């Protein structure tokens, strides 16, 4: 996805930068298997994000997507399952 021409032009990504970034993600992340079993969001395409956070045991879900972070009922439901929903700015504000 990072090698899409639109992203390469916009962010001036060199192939080595993309490879290094993907390598870091693989090294420092934990794969999560999803099954499409969560149907909570107004936009069904966002359910995979929710399922990944919940299944993966995330402590927070950081999103710019208003369908996720502005749906008070959805946010409360996710938070009751132990996952805080944060905007990017909210997440950055929590960093030391």
The Cα angle at residue 44 between residues 82 and 26, in degrees rounded to 5: 60
The total number of residues shown for the chain amounts to 96
Do the Cβ atoms of 78 and 54 come closer than 8 Å?
Answer: yes
pLDDT digit string, tens, across residues 21-77 = 899 999 999 999 999 999 999 999 999 999 999 999 999 999 999 999 999 999 999
Give domain limits for the chain: 1-30, 35-96
- Residue 58 to residue 70: CA distance in whole angstroms: 19
pTM of the model: 0.79
3-class DSSP state of 60: strand
pLDDT band, residue 95 (cuts 50/70/90)? very high
Query: Distance from first CA to last CA of the chain, Å, rounded?
Result: 31
């Amino acid at each position: 996805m990072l090698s899409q021409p639109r992203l390469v032009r916009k962010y001036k990504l060199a192939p080595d930068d993309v490879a290094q970034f993907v390598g870091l993600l693989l090294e420092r992340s934990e794969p999560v298997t999803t099954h499409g079993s969560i149907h909570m969001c107004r936009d069904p395409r966002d359910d995979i994000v929710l399922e990944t956070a919940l299944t993966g045991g995330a402590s927070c879900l950081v999103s710019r997507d208003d369908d996720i972070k502005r749906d008070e009922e959805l946010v409360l439901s996710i938070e009751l399952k132990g996952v805080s929903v944060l905007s990017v700015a909210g997440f950055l504000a929590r960093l030391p």
